[in-house]
Amino acid sequence: MAKGNLAAGTADFMLWAERGQEFLASLQMRVNEPSKERQMRDFRMKEVLALTGLKHHAWRSWIAANIPGPAGEVRLTLEQVHQFMSDHDRRPSRPEGAEPIRLGVATLKGGAAKTITCLHLAHAFAIQGYRVLLIDGDPQGTLTNLCGIRSETVAPENTLAAVFDRVDSPDLFDVPALHPQKTHIDGLDFIPATLQMINSDFTIGAAFMNPRNRTVAQRFYTVLDDELKRVEKDYDIILMDTSPSFSYVGLSLMWAAHGLVIPMQPSLPDYRATLDFAQMFGENMGYIEQAARVTREWNPVAVVHTRVDNSPKAEQTTELVRRFSVNTFFEHRLDVHIPHSQAVISSTSQFRSVYEMKGGEVRKVRDSFDALANRVLAAIHDVWGSQVNAAPETVAAP
């Protein structure tokens, strides 16, 4: 067959990938200039006092004791902000007797801002002082790239692949597989992703065919849950960006999650896709419940509208889908939303969240993410409160 103008072979696809990765690598180096290392922005007095609920005198006395120079002109690093919180007993954490909570951010439809929502929730929680572990569970590695790491440079053993690839080597289960790495944001650790994580699904599928490993393969959904128990004691909140699929790895992530955040644009196609997600989630988790002989509950589960177009032109459709959402998901559809914003597009184009940027428009969008984070945190604290109340009382020894 004669080769047409738009014909392409496997070599062309490989060339496109290689060329594009070079462009992205060059862009990432430029946006990280001049230090070549990611740095979190500094914080003004007004923002620090808003985070802590403290007054000016607390700021002035702390600055005088810790940082030379006029108190009103000082800006703090996030590490210093957290120290300020700790010194005034204002740094939050899960209460004693409560368990770390794992939140999966999940949806089926692309363009719903799943990864962007996950990134911004992680940054918001960490800035407020919580100890956060962020996990990229999507082989595409978009979250990894937004965190300033080129996903194609990540070794599979530093990703979730190290957890799932042991299904065909059960003797390795006693060896810790997760190795969270520090980020440039104080209180936030990260586990990146790479495209090679796709192989984990093939590994699990092949294990089902191997009589020696079939028993382990049949419990694939517990592999991540068990591994997270090794590291979660060091954190308050674990956020997991899931792949937009119900693969073996995706199912394991959703089973390991204690709660879910489901982003949805207020459009009819996105509403329909969210219903499809709900059906597939219910069916697939139901199969696993039968296999495990347990009944699960995810708490909190929150549906949040993202990329909301507030223009008059979109108002009718937006309002219709919001009404459908309330009547479908009831209280699970949160009363906060994330607007469609050029500030988000601009910040992610620089491989950053709006929390790392400056400017008036950025602050407005940051307020929206703060509102979402605080609403989710309120639900998390309800869970923690129930755990503490349900814990058996300890009687002091005489």
User: Does residue 6 sit within a domain?
Assistant: no
Is the same domain home to 64 and 120?
no
Is the same domain home to 80 and 133?
no
DSSP code at position 161: H
User: 87, 110, 143: which is the final residue of a domain?
Assistant: 87
Is the same domain home to 207 and 243?
yes
Burial of 275 by CB count in 10 Å (0-12 exposed, 13-18 middle, 19+ buried)?
middle
Tokens of 185: 């944001």
DSSP code at position 336: E
pLDDT at residue 20 is higher than 80: no
Is the same domain home to 70 and 162?
no
pLDDT in tens, 38-83: 889 999 999 999 999 999 999 999 998 998 766 557 899 999 999 9
pLDDT in tens, 250-273: 999 999 999 999 999 999 999 999
pLDDT at residue 394 is higher than 60: no
Is the same domain home to 74 and 162?
no
**63 compared with 13, residue with greater pLDDT:** 63
Is the same domain home to 80 and 176?
no
pLDDT in tens, 141-171: 999 999 989 888 899 999 999 999 888 777 7
pLDDT above 90 as % of the chain: 64
The per-residue pLDDT for 99 is 96
Is the same domain home to 83 and 108?
no
pLDDT in tens, 368-392: 999 999 999 999 999 999 999 987 7
Give the CATH number of the domain where residue 282 resides: 3.40.50.300
Beta bridge partners of 76: 43
The per-residue pLDDT for 4 is 55
pLDDT at residue 7 is higher than 80: no
Is the same domain home to 77 and 154?
no
pLDDT in tens, 307-338: 998 888 888 888 898 898 999 998 999 999 99
- Give me the number of domains the chain comprises: 2
Is the same domain home to 83 and 109?
no
User: Does residue 142 sit within a domain?
Assistant: yes
Residue 358: phi, psi to the nearest 5?
A: -125, 160
Is the same domain home to 231 and 209?
yes
| Predicted TM-score (pTM) of this structure | 0.89
User: Does residue 252 sit within a domain?
Assistant: yes
Long-range contacts: 122-125, Cβ < 8 Å, 24+? 122/188, 122/239, 123/185, 123/188, 123/353, 123/355, 123/356, 124/355, 124/369, 124/370, 124/372, 124/373, 125/236, 125/237, 125/239, 125/373, 125/377
| pLDDT grade for 393, boundaries at 50, 70 and 90 | low
Identity (one letter) of the amino acid at 33? Answer: E
Q: C-alpha distances in angstroms, 372 versus 239, 336, 375?
A: 14, 6, 5
The per-residue pLDDT for 72 is 59
User: Does residue 393 sit within a domain?
Assistant: no
| Whether the Cβ atoms of residue 334 and residue 304 lie closer than 8 Å to each other | yes
The per-residue pLDDT for 138 is 94
Is the same domain home to 188 and 116?
yes
User: Does residue 259 sit within a domain?
Assistant: yes
User: Does residue 391 sit within a domain?
Assistant: no
User: 42, 62, 87: which is the final residue of a domain?
Assistant: 87
Is the same domain home to 109 and 78?
no
pLDDT in tens, 89-138: 999 999 999 999 999 999 988 888 999 999 999 999 999 999 999 999 99
pLDDT at residue 275 is higher than 80: yes
Q: In what order do the strands lie in the sheet with 188-191?
A: 181-182, 188-191, 132-136, 237-241, 101-105, 259-264, 301-308, 333-339
Task: Identify the domain containing residue 37 by its residue range.
Answer: 20-87
User: Does residue 178 sit within a domain?
Assistant: yes
The per-residue pLDDT for 397 is 46
The per-residue pLDDT for 70 is 66
Query: Is the peptide bond preceding residue 192 cis, with omega within 30 degrees of 0?
Result: no
The per-residue pLDDT for 396 is 46
User: Hey, is 149 helix, strand or coil?
Assistant: coil
Q: Which residue has the tokens 């699970």?
A: 332
The per-residue pLDDT for 111 is 83
pLDDT above 70 as % of the chain: 91
The per-residue pLDDT for 128 is 97
User: Does residue 131 sit within a domain?
Assistant: yes
Tokens of 98: 């409560």
DSSP code at position 191: E
Query: What is the residue-averaged pLDDT of the chain?
Result: 88
Query: Where would I find the beta strands (DSSP E) of the chain?
Result: 101-105, 132-136, 181-182, 188-191, 237-241, 259-264, 301-308, 333-339
